[in-house]
Amino acid sequence: MATSKRIRITNETLNCYGTWIRTAGVELKQFERNPVLLWMHQRGTVIGMIRDIRVEGDEITGEPYFDEVREESRLAKQQWDKGTLRMGSPNFEIIETSEDPALMKPGQTRPTVTRCRLVEYSMVDIGGNDDNIRLSFGGKELSHGSENSIPLLNRKTNQHHTNMNEQLKTVALMLGLAESATLHDVQQKINVVLEYQNANEKLKKERDDLKKELETMKLSGITALVEDAVKTGKIDASRKDHFITLGKSVGTESLRLTFDAMHGSVKPTQMLNRPTGQTNGSWTKLSEVPTDELKLMRKEDPQQYRRLYKAEYGIDCPELK
């Protein structure tokens, strides 16, 4: 009775040739049309066939069928059923290889086989390794010695792979990760850093916009105070720019207090009713001087005007015109 035990045809482990085969790159169409099972890779010694070939993940498996026509087939089936014959070996014809560092495995010495064709599958007594395979390249069977048809990896490729690993460790440590961090771990950490950077840039922009808005509001308030001071006769219209600059320096509230301490223009009736007794020598600040006398003082006694101005505002009087 035919056995239902399956056997591995290939997987993606590192093999005895110092390379490995990408399962996705294995061409099976030709073999599936003629899935012969040979004995010890001997042409003409057909002992059966491989049935129910499956590709599952990174493995290709099948079910050996022994036709028992030849003596080798009958003996192989009996030993397979008994469990004494356990190993098979695929024969691949290599089509394409790659030295891409991303496809390198630890201990790999030859380029990765990215495309190949399954030519035949054999039952063998002892394989070259646990995942025994037979490879051919350019029509020549591969050996384990120096005459192997697949060249050894370029030392520059190996060095590049090593340098990339060292650079990855350095970047990982700079990001606060362990030196064993993977490329995926580093990429995730960089994404987090970029998110923080973008959020920080957004906050800085919002801060700058708010600062500009506050400056505009502050200037608007200062300008309104100065306009009101001109309207009430506390300052001359020609001095608007001076007091706006003063307001920017001391702030809106200080400018308000300054204007509150100043007297507006005095009407003639107010001058008639003004009590006498205050003389030029008794004035201590500019706001105590009547408007009509202030203009006269500005013209006739500029030194007195400057003294009272500084006493009023705490700063030197600008040049009088």
In whole angstroms, what is the distance from residue 321 CA to residue 238 CA? 10
**Could you tell me if residue 300 is inside a domain?**
yes
Helix, strand, coil share (%) of the chain residues, nearest 5 = 45, 20, 35
Cα separation values, 188 from 4, 184, 193, Å: 46, 6, 9
**Does residue 13 sit in the same domain as residue 148?**
yes
CB atoms within 10 A of CB 289: 21
**Cβ-contact 105, 14 below 8 angstroms:** yes
Cα separation values, 210 from 206, 215, 252, 253, 269, Å: 6, 9, 18, 20, 50
- Which one, of 123, 147, 143, lies nearest residue 17 by Cα? 143
Of 117, 135, 152, the position where a domain reaches its end is 152
Can you give the pLDDT at residue 264?
A: 67
Can you give the pLDDT at residue 21?
A: 93
**Could you tell me if residue 256 is inside a domain?**
no
- Buried/exposed 90-106: b ≥16 CB within 10 Å, e otherwise: bbbbbeebebeeeebee
Q: Which residues pair with 224 in a beta bridge?
A: none
**Does residue 146 sit in the same domain as residue 273?**
no
CA–CA–CA angle 139, 10, 133 (5° rounding): 45
- Which one, of 312, 220, 228, 212, lies nearest residue 262 by Cα? 312
Can you give the pLDDT at residue 272?
A: 42
**Could you tell me if residue 41 is inside a domain?**
yes
- Is the model's pTM score more than 0.75? no
Can you give the pLDDT at residue 276?
A: 46
**Residue-range definition of the domain harbouring residue 318:** 269-321
Can you give the pLDDT at residue 38?
A: 96
In whole angstroms, what is the distance from residue 131 CA to residue 163 CA? 31
Of 152, 186, 213, the position where a domain reaches its end is 152
Can you give the pLDDT at residue 32?
A: 95
Q: Could you state, in chain order, the average pLDDT of each consecutive group of 10 residues for the chain (321 residues)?
A: 72 88 95 95 94 94 94 95 90 92 89 94 76 54 52 55 73 85 86 89 90 88 90 87 89 87 61 48 84 84 89 85 70
Of 119, 152, 185, the position where a domain reaches its end is 152
**Cβ-contact 112, 98 below 8 angstroms:** yes
**Could you tell me if residue 285 is inside a domain?**
yes
In whole angstroms, what is the distance from residue 192 CA to residue 5 CA? 50
In whole angstroms, what is the distance from residue 286 CA to residue 180 CA? 78
**Could you tell me if residue 203 is inside a domain?**
no
CA–CA–CA angle 124, 118, 126 (5° rounding): 15
**Could you tell me if residue 202 is inside a domain?**
no
In whole angstroms, what is the distance from residue 239 CA to residue 319 CA? 11
- Which one, of 274, 316, 320, 278, lies nearest residue 301 by Cα? 320
Question: Where does the chain show beta strands of DSSP type E?
Answer: 7-10, 26-27, 36-39, 46-56, 59-66, 87-98, 112-124, 134-137, 140-141
Cα separation values, 4 from 32, 114, 124, 258, Å: 19, 31, 19, 104
**Could you tell me if residue 238 is inside a domain?**
no
Tokens of 256: 């308000």
**Could you tell me if residue 264 is inside a domain?**
no
Helix (H, G, I), strand (E, B) or coil at 121: strand
40: left (phi over 0), alpha (psi -120 to 50) or beta: left
Number of domains in the chain: 2
